[in-house]
Amino acid sequence: MALAIERGFRSGQTAVAEDAGDPRAVRLAQRYRAGWLKLFADGSLGSRSAALLEPYESGSGTPVGGPAGMLLAPPEWLRERAATAGGSGIAAQIHGIGDAAVRSALDILQALPRIAGGIRHRVEHAQLVHPADLPRFGAAGIAASVQPVHLVGDAPVARMAWGDRIRWSFPIRSLAAGGALIAFGTDAPVESPDPWPGIAMAVTRDSSTWAAGVGEGFVRESIDLARAIRAACLDPALTAGEDDRGRLVLGHRADLVVVPAEMLDEGAVADGALGSGRPLATMLDGEVVYRDQAFDPGG
């Protein structure tokens, strides 16, 4: 049985080969692939610690660090570490939820050189983006790593905390229009690893759990199903420098999932089949690794 291990180094850990000529070190280097150095620019919406360009709305709770939230680290500190990682061929991802943190992250990442191998620098979450910063993602080749499923719980809080600024909350359509790579994720283990609820939220921008009026203003940034599927399949592969994944074309890996037709045919319905359906079969690199017992591909 083939075994692959993926893990992250915690802060302070390093990987050092004591002898670069050691055959074991050479084999490790051939098989080792570094992803991203993760840095944090700000906190979260729920704690009111996401860094904003303008203060939080009055009556929305007490912000942490000041009326406009807080940056968790000085931009220069983040810049130095991102540059050090880049010098070793490691891309940077910067957690940025508020529009001030997103702008700071873009300023830092835009100044970094491109990484060999095609791995893109990325802003993680990008839950509130000032409209002036939206085209910067595509222009600089910086990916927006977005988790649409967070809208389910965050929309009511965002409406209270950000007021009319929710027009630019989770601005997926505007990012796509600006040519950005949009890499959808689930934020597991914070959320379920199931990608379909997030795909559905990107399309519907609606939830039956929301009180009346909560969803107003969010739907303008919805995208169609084809763009959502791309953001869940192709754009993450391109962001990771894996150019042979994400599309069913000649020469690419045969990775695919078979889903019931109603998941794709129902349309934009809140909490509908798109977000709750189950795959019928999964193929990984040409090998069927999962098949529902009731699924007959020849039937």
- CA 66, 68, 71, 72 torsion: positive or negative? positive
Put simply, whether the predicted model's pTM sits higher than 0.85 gets the answer: yes
* Three-state DSSP state, 291: strand
d(CA 34, CA 50): 28
Domain boundaries, the chain: 32-246
Q: Which CATH architecture has domain 32-246?
A: Alpha-Beta Barrel (3.20)
* Three-state DSSP state, 102: helix
Spatial CA neighbour of 279 closest among 245, 243, 252, 255? 255
Q: Over the stretch 253-268, which tens digit does the pLDDT of each residue have?
A: 999 999 999 999 877 7
**Orientation of helix 75-87 relative to helix 99-110, angle to 10°:** 40
Q: Over the stretch 69-104, which tens digit does the pLDDT of each residue have?
A: 999 999 999 999 999 999 888 999 999 999 999 999
The secondary structure of 258-287 as a DSSP string is E--HHHHHS-S-TTSHHHH---SEEEETTE
Average pLDDT of the residues in 130-159: 97
Q: Give residue 47's pLDDT band: very low, low, confident or very high (50, 70, 90).
A: very high
Q: Give residue 297's pLDDT band: very low, low, confident or very high (50, 70, 90).
A: confident
Q: Give residue 17's pLDDT band: very low, low, confident or very high (50, 70, 90).
A: very low
